[in-house]
Amino acid sequence: MALTEHELRSLDYEPDAGGHFGDYGGRYVSETLMAALSELDQNYQKLKNDPDFQREFDADLASFVGRPSPLYHADRWSKAIGGAQIYFKREDLNHTGAHKVNNTIGQALLAKYSGKPRVIAETGAGQHGVASATVAARLGLECVVYMGADDVERQSPNVYRMKLLGAKVVPVESGSRTLKDALNEAMRDWVTNVDDTFYIIGTVAGPAPYPQLVRDFNAVVGRELKWQSKELFGKYPDALVACVGGGSNAIGMFYPFLRDTEVAVYGVEAAGRGLSTNEHAAPLCSGRPGVLHGAKTYLMDNSDGQIAHTHSVSAGLDYPGVGPEHAYLKDIGRANYVGATDEEALAAFHEVSQVEGIIPALETAHALAYTKKLAATMRPDQTVVCNMSGRGDKDIFTVAKMEGISLT
């Protein structure tokens, strides 16, 4: 299935009219959702080329998020590793502390332009919930966030943040009481309240057109990186690295570079306690194609097709599926997907905190762990850019607890 370099350079990397990326994606949903998805698709295809909409989106990214995010040379860490020059794309400096807000601003504006006064969202660690509650507050939209009951307990600071921002947080008790169950519940809410409600999905998963529109809103990351890398080191990076849960920060950085095949692309999944165990969240590395949450994609399931319980130290990567465009990029050979274990991620978390003065999110720490390995195999005149997708403030309690330290 892998394509030639010439083919990879000439693809347009857009889904077909049904939202398929090759064999993946699509709209595997109940008829009850079809009208809502068609309406969303029509609105989006119209608005994405609407100058007023784009102007408002760009203005919000500049003045509310603080874009462009800097491209930072991790000089000390590069030297310590002794390979390629490592740069960080500083999405952690965005308002709310991660790339997530790029997407929620875009979708909340879509809600506004579509005349929907109520938005709903699902959240795992709470980052997407906070980002949704933030933009809902700013635009005066009612906001309900679904969150697995276990996650509500594990992530109480983010639950409180969402409440401060005026959102209602609904704990989901069904299933494994984590992200995938929150997603199920949000879909149910949407089916029931579709007339006045916009569903802000937090990643490039789900039925079409979500994988495309979430990608497009995050693609500002890669577009900025294109001119920033030219400005800073005179050419495009030799390699890009980003963590992949659903895969929105990764696709946001990769997408503008997909036809530039001289740029190698690496997505890093959560290998948990190891890819050879069952305790990880790495569908691209060791799952298989199936259908989950409205899209055909790689996923983790058992031999009977029941969706598996996943494990990662990072709540944001702890998801059994992945965005369908990543499944496609894997199959055609445009992107490489690798894993980083809990242990490797934690080591990178500490190392980058101490060497660069940046505490990364645990999700991001997976990308950093692989960046270190990759940079070590490259020459000092080469460059690798790691997407610093989020800051680690939210994770200090988790890390402290794992190390037996009580912060309360």
Partner 1 sequence: MSSNRIQQRMDQLKASGRKALIPYIVAGDPAPDVTVPAMHAMVEAGADIIELGMPFSDPFADGPVNQRGAERAIASGMTLRGVLDAVSEFRETDQDTPVVLMGYLNPLIAMGEVAFCDGCQASGVDGLLIVDMPPEEEGSLVQAAKSRGLDLIYLAAPTTTDARLAIIGQATSGYLYYVSLKGITGSSKLDTTEVSKRIEHMRQHISVPICVGFGIRTAEDAAAISSTADGSIVGSVLVSQVEALVNEPTKIPEALQSILKPMRDAMDANA
Integer angstrom CA distances of residue 301 from 28, 185, 308: 17, 20, 5
Binding to partner 1 (CB under 8 A) within 83-122 occurs at: none
Interacting residue with partner 1 among 1, 6, 14, 31 (CB under 8 A): 31
User: Residue 217: what are its φ and ψ, rounded to 5°?
Assistant: -70, -30
User: Interface with partner 1 includes 179 (CB under 8 A)?
Assistant: no
Nearer to partner 1, 290 or 390 (CB): 290
Q: Residue type for 204, please?
A: V
As measured in angstroms, the least distance from the Cβ of 294 to partner 1 is: 7
Q: In this structure, what token pair is assigned to residue 201?
A: 């999905």
From residue 326, how far is each of 200, 289, 331, 384 by CA, in Å? 20, 12, 9, 20
The single residue among 15, 24, 36, 210 that binds partner 1, judged by CB under 8 A, is 36
Q: Which two tokens stand for residue 236?
A: 């495009």
289 binds partner 1, rule: CB under 8 A? yes
Nearer to partner 1, 184 or 286 (CB): 184
Backbone phi and psi for residue 140, each to the nearest 5 degrees, phi listed first: 70, 35
Among the listed residues 90, 112, 116, 180, the single contact to partner 1 using CB under 8 A: 180
Q: At what angle do helices 156-164 and 127-139 cross, to 10 degrees?
A: 10
We find the least distance from the C-beta atom of residue 45 to partner 1, in angstroms, to be: 17
From 78, 91, 100, 394, active-site residue? 100
Q: How far is the CB of 188 from partner 1 (least distance, A)?
A: 5
194 or 263: CB nearest partner 1: 194
Q: Which of 91, 122, 224, 344 is catalytic?
A: 122
Q: How far is CA 73 from CA 81, 200, 228, 354, 359, in A?
A: 14, 34, 12, 15, 15
The amino acid at residue 246 is G
Is residue 63 among the annotated active site residues? no
Per the DSSP assignment, residues forming a β-bridge with 120 are 144, 199
Q: Does 291 bind partner 1 (CB under 8 A)?
A: yes
> Residue 91 in contact with residue 358, Cβ under 8 Å?
no
| Catalytic residue check, 312 | no
Question: Catalytic annotation on 394?
Answer: no
Antiparallel, parallel or unpaired: β 383-387 and 239-243: parallel
Nearer to partner 1, 195 or 403 (CB): 195
CB of 6 to partner 1, least distance (A): 30
**Per-residue x/- marks for partner 1, 181-220, CB under 8 A?**
x-xx--xx--xx-xx-------------------------
Q: List the one residue from 156, 174, 277, 354 that touches partner 1 (CB under 8 A).
A: 174
Q: From the centroid of its chain, how far is CA 382?
A: 26
In this structure, which amino acid lies at residue 160?
Answer: Y
How far is Cα 402 from Cα 5, in angstroms, rounded to an integer? 45
On whether the CB atoms of residues 81 and 373 are closer than 8 A, the answer is no
Phi-psi region of 50 (alpha: psi -120 to 50; beta: other; left: phi over 0): beta
Provide the minimum distance between the beta carbon of 33 and partner 1 in the complex, in angstroms, as a whole number.
Answer: 8
Q: Which stretch binds partner 1 (CB under 8 A): 149-157, 243-251, 268-276, 301-309?
A: 301-309
- The window from 32-40, 83-91, 218-226, 277-285 that contacts partner 1 (CB under 8 A) reads 32-40
> Pick from 366, 1, 12, 40: which is nearest to 206 by CA?
40
Q: Which of 51, 82, 234, 305 binds partner 1 (CB under 8 A)?
A: 305
Q: Is 29 in the site for partner 1 (CB under 8 A)?
A: yes
Give the number of residues in contact with partner 1, rule: CB under 8 A.
Answer: 40
**Minimum CB distance to partner 1 smaller for 30 or for 49:** 30
The span of 42-50, 251-259, 299-307, 394-402 binding partner 1 (CB under 8 A) equals 299-307
Q: Is 35 in the site for partner 1 (CB under 8 A)?
A: yes
Dihedral class, residue 175 (left if φ above 0, else alpha if ψ from -120 to 50, else beta) = left
Which entry of 89, 372, 389, 394 is annotated as an active-site residue? 389
Distance CA 120, CA 133 (A): 9
Q: How far is the CB of 384 from partner 1 (least distance, A)?
A: 36
Give dist(CA 337, CA 269) in Å, integer: 7
Alpha carbon 173 to its chain's center: 24
Q: Please list the active-site residues.
A: 100, 122, 389
Residues in the site for partner 1, rule: CB under 8 A?
Answer: 18, 26-36, 38, 174-175, 180-181, 183-184, 187-188, 191-192, 194-195, 289-294, 296, 299, 301-307
